[in-house]
Each structure stands twice: as C-alpha cells, then as structure tokens.
Amino acid sequence: MDALTRLFNRRRLDEDLDAECKRCVRYGRPLAFVMLDVDHFKAFNDAHGHPQADTALQEVADVIAGSVRTTDTAYRYGGEEFCILLRETSGLDAMHFAERVRQRIEQRFSAGTTAGITASFGVAGFSIATPTPRALVEAADAAMYQSKNGGRNRVMFSSSSFPPGPPSDLPQIHPPMVSN
C-alpha cells in the first residue's frame, strides 16, 4: 500500500500486471490499462506547498478509488501518476471509464483551495501489439503523453494498441463532453 494515498503501490502493480497478462494470453480475455498524471502538479505544489499538494493527491486517489469496480485495481505509480488495471474490459469501455474519472476529478476540483486540478489520461488494451506488462504500461504512458501534448485534461487511446473496434468506435475524448 502507498502510505499517502492508500492505493496499491508499484510493487503490487508489477505483480498484478504479470498475472493478468498471463491470464489474458491463456484465456483470451480482455484487459485494459489506464494511466493518468495530475496536470501541472509541480506548479500546484510550488504555489500551495507540500501539505496541500499531499491533500490534493489523496483526494485524486479517493476519486479513483470511488470509481473502480471491485474487479479493478487502482495504484499509485509514483509522484502524481496513478494507474488502473481494468480486468475483463475492452479498450472502448476503458476509454469511457477513463472519461468518467476525468470528469469526476475535474468536478471535484472545481472550487476551493485545490481548484483547477485536472488529469491527463492514457488508455491501452492488451493485444498482440502490447503482449507484455511492460508493453502495456509503455502504450498507456505514450497515450498519456499524447493527452498532455494535446492540451491536457483529456483521454487518449494508445495508437500502439490494437483498437477495440472499428476506428470510428474509438473517438479521442476531449473536454468539454456534451451528454445527451
């Protein structure tokens, strides 16, 4: 466990990813991986100090923990980076999940001393192109950096993962989203 956020730590992530990737190979089941980074966190930390920054990280972790299913697992990857292992989940479903979490973070930090905190998300699906734990993490990480380079506070699917359906089924999700 990570002492600050009460999410699982990187060591547990490595163990879980290894086991889940082996299970996917053996049984052909879907698996998705989400990586997120709190946007402009160093500037927030510099402006508000470490205690307030720690509180913000705890609150981000609470949003994530409150969003996952009992079959999913959330982790603190390091610093202001978090990740989520989504078992039995397609890439498209993981995109929708990540967008919900992105919106919840944005809403949670819409006012008060932590106002303006957002996160950039990268999503990858286990596939022939990403057949190992390391490849899955690297694919999600690359997509997360696409989110950051594209303006932050958005969700991107890894271009190195095979898409979960026809390309038209996998939009790039950018705020603001309009709900029907």
Contact between 66 and 58 under an 8 Å Cβ cutoff? The reply is: no
pLDDT at 161: 65
Q: Alpha-carbon distance 173 to 171, whole Å?
A: 6
pLDDT at 174: 47
pLDDT tens series, the chain, 180 aa: 999 999 999 999 999 999 999 999 999 999 999 999 999 999 999 999 999 999 999 999 999 999 999 999 999 999 999 999 999 999 999 999 999 999 999 999 999 888 999 999 999 999 988 899 999 999 999 999 999 999 999 999 998 765 444 333 444 444 444 333
pLDDT at 159: 80
pLDDT at 163: 47
pLDDT at 113: 84
According to CATH, the topology of domain 10-169 is Alpha-Beta Plaits (3.30.70)
Global pTM reads 0.89
Active site residues: 80
